[in-house]
Amino acid sequence: MLGSFGGRTFDTDIIRHDPIIFVHGAGQRAGDFISHYFYFLGKQYNAAELYATTYGDGGITPKKYKTLACDDVKQIHGMIIAVAAYTNRTVNIIAFAEGVALARKAILSGTCVDTRETLGVALTNLVDTFISVAGVGYGKQGCNPQEGGCNLNNGMYCTSAFLTELNTPASRYEGRTSFYIFSDNDNVIGQTCCTNQLCSQLKNANSFSRQRNMLHDSILTLTQDLQYQMIQSRGAFNGTLYDTQYNNGLSWLRL
């Protein structure tokens, strides 16, 4: 499957939109966003405005053993800087599942909890809109700290050092605006973490969209319209109003 995409097809290509960087989840590759690539082409974006890269080993490691590794954070961190410099614009980020936590750390920067490497200053000023889709915001429900991917340092257990750092700042750092999309029926991330915290919540977000029936693997593609609206809204997206309209339109899917 496709390992990366993005960049001008011709030197004369004009960049009219803030570019979008797509960040995949554990066990995935950049090619899992190919549907998004063609969706946004249909919204008059071009190849120089749509980017993704594959971090990690592209799904070889079983998900339950995949940690929130500094090497993956560094790759996303470098891509944000490179795309912003290449396009001379702020970027938008759409991240999915475990990729949400990695992208947030890439923006927050600072020191990696696993290797103690220093990433430098925060990249907040390079990001316009950050969208979390079925993200690991406060961990995964039922995460077992005895499994590698849920360890208490750089794992997805709700009180791991990695996630605690991401959720400590009192103000938004992921970009100028941020949103999150979650489902009551998410069978991977779950619902409740740390006793009473919504697992997929993005702290300090401007707004959110709650889906009632979508499964984890469905929500990324089925909410493309929502993601587009969030980017277009320039921070004015009202999740409560749009959620009602959107769910009415999709109620027949019974996901």
pLDDT tens for residues 136-170?
A: 999 999 999 998 999 999 999 999 999 999 999 99
Residues 6+ positions from 99 with CB-CB distance below 8 Å? 23, 24, 25, 26, 28, 76, 135
What is the pLDDT at residue 58? 80
pLDDT surpasses 60 at 250: no
Q: What is the mean pLDDT of residues 94-111?
A: 98
- The residue that leads in pLDDT, 90 or 244, is 90
pLDDT in tens, 188-244: 999 999 888 999 999 999 999 999 899 999 999 999 999 999 999 876 676 654 444
pLDDT bracket for residue 57 (50, 70, 90): confident
pLDDT bracket for residue 2 (50, 70, 90): confident
Structural domain boundaries of the chain?
A: 4-253
Give the DSSP letter string of 25-48: -TT--GGGGHHHHHHHHTTT--GG
- Exposure class string for 88-107: b at 16+ Cβ within 10 A, else e: ebbbbbbbbbbbbbbbbbbb
pLDDT bracket for residue 63 (50, 70, 90): confident
What letter would DSSP give residue 63?
G
What is the pLDDT at residue 235? 62
What is the pLDDT at residue 60? 87
Contact 30, 53 (CB under 8 A): yes
pLDDT bracket for residue 253 (50, 70, 90): very low
H/E run at residue 181: strand 177-183
What is the pLDDT at residue 59? 78
pLDDT surpasses 80 at 173: yes
H/E run at residue 131: strand 127-133
SS3 91: strand
CATH dotted code for 4-253: 3.40.50.1820
pLDDT surpasses 50 at 114: yes
Mean pLDDT over the full length of the chain? 91
pLDDT surpasses 80 at 101: yes
- The residue that leads in pLDDT, 46 or 251, is 46
> Which residue in 56, 32, 33 sits closest to 149, CA to CA?
56
Contact 30, 22 (CB under 8 A): yes
- The residue that leads in pLDDT, 78 or 237, is 78
Share of the chain above pLDDT 70, in %: 92
SS3 209: strand
Contact 231, 92 (CB under 8 A): yes
Angstrom distance (rounded) from CA 122 to CA 168: 15
